[in-house]
């Protein structure tokens, strides 16, 4: 496995691989890898000739009061896990190389970014869109894999890739959970042991809504009340958003149907966690 820090070296390597007819699979991440990332890498390995992982904590997708400075990092550990998953190249650029003096281009996104994380984190998806577009230009992937844990991010990237005719196939991958149901996330490392227990309220909220829906309840108001009760029963938990939305357009819905998205962001102490489920699909 090769570790590349230099942007030009990564791009030249990718262009040479493409000229040899190699199919490049790409998994973009912010590092501090866990089993969720590993599932993306294994699928990327299966679908491509060359597997590239990027590790870059992208400053432009963090708000001024967010956790950019304390975001967990472990390049050596990440490289070990990446190698075990069959990664060929780890691309880990610096922020100075990605955003050199004079950098000024943005990507203008549409209504998909208005609700949910877009509303809570102004500018977040612009930062994501710019860095993903840059990474696609540098890594030249045929396919790129993203987790459904970041459901809105996946929807925005699918839309942008289609709208801008970027020649990359986007693959959405299932949410990987801890045995007790907590969605894996690098930010879980912020949680104290007590907060780790309290964080289970996100999963319990998903289960409560899924169970009611399976018993025939479709009123969004009643389904959301059941979810809120799970979070409300947890002392350290504060809801950022908890919503039922159309799984494609992300428009609000009054009645849930198969394909409706339940998405939530909850603060456990100072840690903001997200999770979601699509009704009628596997958890």
Ligand X SMILES: Nc1ncnc2c1ncn2[C@@H]1O[C@H](COP(=O)(O)OP(=O)(O)OP(=O)(O)O)[C@@H](O)[C@H]1O
Ligand Y SMILES: CC(C)(CO)[C@@H](O)C(=O)[O-]
Interface residues toward ligand BAL, by CB under 6 A: 30, 61, 150
- Closest of 142, 138, 136 to residue 22, by C-alpha: 142
104 is in an annotated binding site: no
* Residues contacting ligand Y: total by CB under 6 A: 10
- 27 interacts with ligand Y by CB under 6 A: no
- 132, interface contact from ligand BAL, ligand Y, ligand X, none, CB < 5-8 Å by kind: ligand Y
Residue 275 found at the interface with ligand Y (CB under 6 A): no
Rounded to 5 degrees, φ, ψ at 270 are: -100, 5
Residue 132, interface with ligand X (CB under 6 A)?
no
Nearer to ligand Y, 30 or 256 (CB): 30
Question: Is 22 annotated in some ligand binding site?
Answer: no
Contact pattern from residue 119 through residue 138 relative to ligand Y, giving x for each residue in contact according to CB under 6 A and a dash for the rest:
---------x--xx------
Asked if residue 184 belongs to a known ligand binding site, the reply is yes
Chain positions 13 to 32 lying near ligand X, rule: CB under 6 A, are: 29-30
CA dist list (Å): 25 to 4, 52, 86, 238: 16, 6, 11, 38
Q: Judged by CB, which is closer to ligand X: 175, or 202?
A: 175
Cα(112)–Cα(250) distance, rounded to whole angstroms? Answer: 6
Contact segment (CB under 6 A) with ligand Y among 27-35, 65-73, 111-119, 252-260 equals 27-35
Which position has the token pair 């908890």? 242
Q: Taking a C-beta distance cutoff of 8 angstroms, is the pair 260, 278 a contact?
A: yes
Q: Binding site annotation covers 132?
A: no
Shortest distance in whole angstroms from residue 153 CB to ligand Y: 6
Tokens found for residue 237: 């938990």
Task: Locate all alpha helices (DSSP H) within the chain, ordered by sequence.
Answer: 7-19, 35-47, 75-84, 95-98, 116-120, 124-139, 151-163, 193-198, 200-214, 220-232
Q: Is 5 annotated as a binding residue?
A: no
Q: Which is nearer to ligand BAL, 140 or 271 (CB)?
A: 271
**3-state secondary structure (DSSP) of residue 271:** strand
Question: Cβ distance 98 to 7 under 8 Å?
Answer: yes
Place of tokens 């990474």: 135
Give the nearer residue to ligand Y in terms of CB position, either 30 or 244.
Answer: 30
Binding residue (CB under 6 A) for ligand Y from 43, 150, 195, 275: 150
DSSP, res 252: B
37 assigned to active site = yes
Question: Considering 10, 14, 37, 82, which one is annotated as catalytic?
Answer: 37
DSSP, residue by residue, 40-67: HHHHHHHH-SEEEEEE---GGGS-TTSS
SS3 state at 135: helix
| Residues near ligand Y (CB under 6 A) | 28-30, 58, 61, 128, 131-132, 150, 153
| Residues near ligand X (CB under 6 A) | 29-30, 36-37, 39-40, 146-147, 149-150, 173, 175-176, 183-187
Give catalytic residues, as residue numbers.
37
């Amino acid at each position: 496995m090769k570790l590349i820090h230099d942007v030009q070296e990564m791009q030249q390597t990718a262009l040479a691989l493409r000229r040899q007819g190699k199919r490049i699979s790409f998994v973009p991440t912010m590092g501090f890898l866990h089993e969720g990332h590993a599932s993306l890498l294994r699928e990327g390995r299966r679908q491509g000739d060359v597997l590239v992982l990027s590790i870059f904590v992208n400053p432009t997708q963090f708000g001024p009061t967010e956790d950019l400075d304390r975001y967990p990092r472990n390049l050596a550990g990440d490289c070990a896990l990446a190698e075990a998953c069959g990664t060929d190249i780890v691309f880990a650029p610096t922020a100075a190389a990605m955003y050199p003096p004079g950098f000024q281009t943005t990507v203008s996104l549409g209504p998909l970014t208005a609700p949910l994380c877009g509303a809570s984190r102004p500018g977040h998806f612009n930062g994501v869109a710019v860095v993903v577009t840059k990474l696609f230009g540098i890594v030249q992937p045929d396919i790129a894999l993203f987790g459904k844990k970041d459901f809105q991010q996946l929807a925005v990237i699918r839309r942008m890739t289609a709208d801008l005719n970027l020649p990359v196939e986007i693959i959405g991958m299932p949410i990987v959970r801890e045995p007790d149901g907590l969605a894996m996330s690098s930010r879980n490392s912020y949680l104290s042991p007590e907060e780790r227990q309290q964080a289970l309220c996100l999963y319990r909220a998903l289960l409560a809504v899924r169970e009611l829906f399976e018993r025939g309840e479709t009123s969004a108001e009643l389904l959301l009340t059941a979810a809120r009760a799970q979070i409300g029963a947890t002392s350290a938990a504060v809801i950022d958003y908890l919503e039922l939305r159309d799984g494609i357009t992300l428009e609000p819905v009054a009645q849930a149907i198969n394909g409706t998205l339940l998405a939530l962001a909850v603060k456990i102490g100072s840690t903001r966690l997200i999770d979601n489920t699509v009704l009628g699909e596997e958890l």
